[in-house]
Chain A
Amino acid sequence: MSQPMTSNESQGGAAAGAEAGTVTLEGVRVRFGGEAVLDEVDLTLPAGVTVLLRGPNGAGKSTLLRAMAGLLPFDGDIKLFGARPRTLQGRAAFAFVADVPVLFEDLTVREHATFMSRAYDRPDAEDAVLTWLERFELGDRLDEFPGTHSRGMRHKTALSLALGVDPGLLLLDEPFNTLDADARKTLQDALLARAAGGAINLLSAHEQSLESDLDARVVEVRGGHVSPLRG
């Protein structure tokens, strides 16, 4: 049974998210131009798992992630550890990284770390983000603007921001697509550690090997419907 998060819990990161319960979707439906792209999606994600969303292009994987992040209007009910995505508590419970990473063009990478710690009101997050940037080998590019970086580097920055905030739920849209081999390993280790700590990782990906690499469970998305959690 999920419980609403208190503000302390909302700032407590992965462990707090795990204590508060699970992520549930009930009868979620997303429409574009009158057509249901997601139809009656029911899903429950228990604490401490990595879940892979699989399915062909256009099946609705990104739409599902965006609806869970509150970026798309939807019918039905989504509860992130008891809170709805659009509320303050709901937004404190997750971080989202889009398939095309979005960053401020007028802030340096280091200032992004400061921005995230302020936006999440988490003074410790700034150092955490900087640590992740070091792990992703961007430590010597902190004072540069993201506009001068490649797409892969921007993706690493976006992932560092999300990992540094350490939310109860991490939503990643095709996170491995642009990463080099070292960065893939860093991200895999990060996701394994988060799941071991009780947090939930939900990501869309096409690579078959990820299921074993991440010790992940799988949800098939096809024609707007999702399969039950397996694995």
Chain B
Amino acid sequence: MASARAAAGGRAGLGGLERRMFRRRLGRGYHWVGRTFGWSTVLYLVFWIALFVVGGVQSAAPLASPVPVRVLPIALDALALVALASVALQRTPPVVVGRAHAQLLGLAPWPARRVLRPRLLGYFVSRVLVGGVVGTAAWLLVSILFARSLPALVAAGAALWALRSVLAVLVYERRPAALPLLLVSSLLAAAGVASGPAGFRQGAAAPALAAAGAAVFAVAAIASALASQGDAYPAGYLYDATVVSEFRSAVFFAVMTQNAGALRRRGPLARTRRRRGRRSGRARLRLPSPPAEYGALGGVAWRSALNLLRAPLLMKLALLAALGYVYATLSAGVVGGLPLAVLGLAAGFLASWLLGPSAEPMPLPLDPFARGGGRVMPGMVVTAVLFVVLSAAGVNRGGSVSGSEAALLGFALLTLAMVTLEKASSWLHVSHREWTTWGLSGLLSGTLMWILSALGGTGAITIGALGLATFALVMLP
């Protein structure tokens, strides 16, 4: 009896310390916001945002010719299915503890369920609230697009997000219960599609019933997920939680420094992001080092090529597809002023990929031509090879522009975008991966392409763009 009382006292003591930590953190955050932004500013912003939201909702009027109602259940069920299926891609734990908790409490003989349960409950509650907000937005959109008022969508959204959060926990923990739950939820969504049109025509009955069913299902699933929390943590949880909590801290730090006007300090976040998916030294892709006589230009080009080579596979494939799309657009004869300006804008973004995923600054005292030329060279080679292959393969969408003309024009456009991006990044001392930099470069490239298109045909535009890129590369610092 005495030991039971002592144990209960120990648990209560630990809970008290946890609450004390939480209060102190809250107090620190309160004072920080007060000092940094001022609470009066925050309240002022909240008031006006609320006013705008309420005003926007009140002024929303249904479409003059609403979308046919038979589309509604299919769209809603498709959204629900996507929301549920996306859980399968999740690899990180839905609920994390900080590094100190992972090492000091996670390694102590304290049951995992006592550490995770309050956090899981908080997670479920926050997800239900998010689902409610999503449901409210859906209710509003449905009333505008379909001229139907379905307040039950609020409850349906909350229930769906509750279900999604349970699935996230089960999928992360690789519990066998995840599969039947996924199946049942998919069946529920499918049943919604089948019975939806009739129900929607009659009013709010179908979504209300679906929401009630999903809510009961979600509550039962949450209870089951909480009840199954054991003494030990799921395999790999403490490691994952440590990595994710560090990543979140880095993101928070980056957001705060960015808000403070220190864009350049995003280096730590970029490094953490890369570290998240980094392979150990020996497993990474390699390129033979360039001979010393190639000088700084060869060295920078080698570094950039390595950077591009080590980009995630998905990013590389997306880049090739996007480049192919640029070629296809040009070969279809879309070479007027406005289309080229839009393509120039898009090329700014593509250039940020072509310069590689690394956002490391290059503070070495390099010759500007060696730095700029080296950084854009691998991207130029990739673009040239791809466009030559597409042109040689006879890929042409039957426009007024030949394959070789489209290839040359596309190459010139992307080279101009890469060079302007490299220069913008160097001048601003901001990574080429920042939207501010590639946005500026895209704007500049787009404007230049527009001006060039007013001066002549594709040949003149190509020569002009390549000339401008060469001038910038050779003459500008």
Tell me the A residues contacting B by CB distance below 8 Å. Answer: 10, 32-35, 37, 69-73, 86-89, 91-92, 94-96, 98, 102-107, 111-112, 114-121, 123, 161
Contact = CB atoms under 8 A, between A and B. Distances in A.
B104 A119 contact: yes
A116 B104 CA distance: 8
B107 A102 contact: no
Interface in B94-153: 99-105, 107-111
A111 B20 contact: yes
Interface of B is mostly: helix
A104 B279 contact: no
Nearest to A31: B280
Interface of B: 6-7, 10-11, 13-14, 17, 20-21, 24-25, 28, 99-105, 107-111, 231-233, 235-236, 238-239, 242, 278-280, 282-283
Given A33-B283, A72-B239, A104-B21, 6 more contacts: A72-B236, A86-B233, A95-B107, A96-B103, A104-B104, A121-B6
Nearest to A84: B232
Given A32-B280, A71-B102, A119 B239 contact: no
Nearest to A104: B100
- Which among A73, A89, A94, A123 has the greatest number of chain B C-beta atoms within 10 A? A73
Given A33-B280, A71-B238, A107 B20 contact: yes
Given A86-B232, A96-B107, A115 B280 contact: no
A119 B102 CA distance: 12
Given A102-B104, A119-B108, A86 B20 contact: no
B109 A33 contact: no
A115 B28 CA distance: 21
Contact of A121 (B10, B99, B232, B280): B10
B267 to A, nearest CB: 20
Contacts of B110: 91, 119-121
Contact of A73 (B11, B20, B239): B239
A91 B103 CA distance: 11
A35 B104 contact: no
Contacts of A86: 232-233, 235
Contacts of A106: 20-21, 24-25, 28
Given A32-B280, A111-B17, A88 B103 contact: no
A92 B109 contact: yes
Contacts of B105: 119
A157 B147 CA distance: 65
B17 A114 contact: yes
A33 B17 contact: no
Nearest to B6: A123
A119 B104 CA distance: 8
A190 to B, nearest CB: 19
A118 B14 contact: yes
B390 to A, nearest CB: 34
B283 A115 contact: no
